[in-house]
Amino acid sequence: MGYKSVLTVCTDETLLESTIDHAATLATGFDAHLDILCLGVDRSQTGYYYAGANAMVLQETLSRAASEAEELAAKARARMAGFECRWAVDHGVSQLADIGRHVASRARFNDLVVLPKPYGDKRGVELEPVLEGGLFEGQVPVVVVPDEVTPPAQPRRIVIGWNESAEALRAVRAALPMLIEADSVHVVVIDPPKHGPNRSDPGGALSQFLARHGCKAEIDVLSRTLPRVSDVLLRHVADLDADMVVMGAYGHSRFREAILGGATRNMLENANVTAFMAH
């Protein structure tokens, strides 16, 4: 079964063209319907207005967000004129604290969500809760595409970051339509446990599972020669000239990763390749 319904969310005019291009390319490749949600975001924090402010201030910020949403929707429709896939554009307004719920309500009825990288220069604070809304509340795999990357309609070389976690396995299952069609799939295991149950054949069970689905899978066991696991994984991705990384997202809590870092956070900050993530 392939992907028949794809969602993308636009909140920033400067990222609109690249975000829509990435989502439309993937939707076209899978003959899927693309839903584009354009959100005007009220970034003010209710309850922290200056002394003497009243409901007029709130109304002004909401009106501004509504105008932004309409402008984003108009530009999204104009951008989609160059693509052949089926598509629909909707727009609305959300306060920053509630944006995850809005995204999740749409995402849960789609097969994939395609989004830009949430971290980096000139990135709005709303991009992080948009991503988390799809992953957590929406329970949908998210494809994160850097601005400078052109995602292939069907990736030819895919790397799986495998650590035997439930999140990683869910990402693999969700990515099966892409994995089956890929020319090569590399199951990357970094510093496998020396005393674990699979110590003699790390990644072997997953490789067998993939092979039975017709995937051309092979196992790459790597040593952690760099400070962060994500750095080792990204270096291997570059060595293989891979098109996509498939990995579980937020095996640790979001709070812990925000404070101490983690593979998911580091990948979202530094990856220069398309990342397929699921929680």
Reported as a single tens digit per residue, the pLDDT across 96-119 is 889 999 999 999 999 999 999 998
Dihedral angle sign, alpha carbons of residues 89, 92, 97, 102? negative
pTM over 0.95: no
Q: Which residue has the tokens 């969500």?
A: 113
Per residue in 31-65, pLDDT (tens digit) is 999 999 999 998 776 555 555 555 666 678 888 99
Helical segments of the chain, H only: 13-29, 55-80, 99-107, 127-132, 166-174, 176-181, 204-212, 229-240, 254-260, 263-270
Q: Which of 62-71, 72-81, 122-131, 261-270 has the highest mean pLDDT?
A: 72-81
Give yes or no for a contact between 120 and 269, defined as CB atoms under 8 angstroms apart: yes
> Per the structure block, which two tokens stand in for 105?
């309500």
Q: Which residue has the tokens 């932004």?
A: 68
Sheet containing 5-10: which strands, arranged edge to edge? 87-95, 33-42, 5-10, 112-116, 142-145, 274-278, 244-248, 157-161, 184-190, 217-222
Using pLDDT thresholds of 50, 70 and 90, give the confidence band for residue 72.
very high
Instruction: Sketch out the chain's domains with CATH numbers.
Output: 5-145 (3.40.50.620), 157-278 (3.40.50.620)
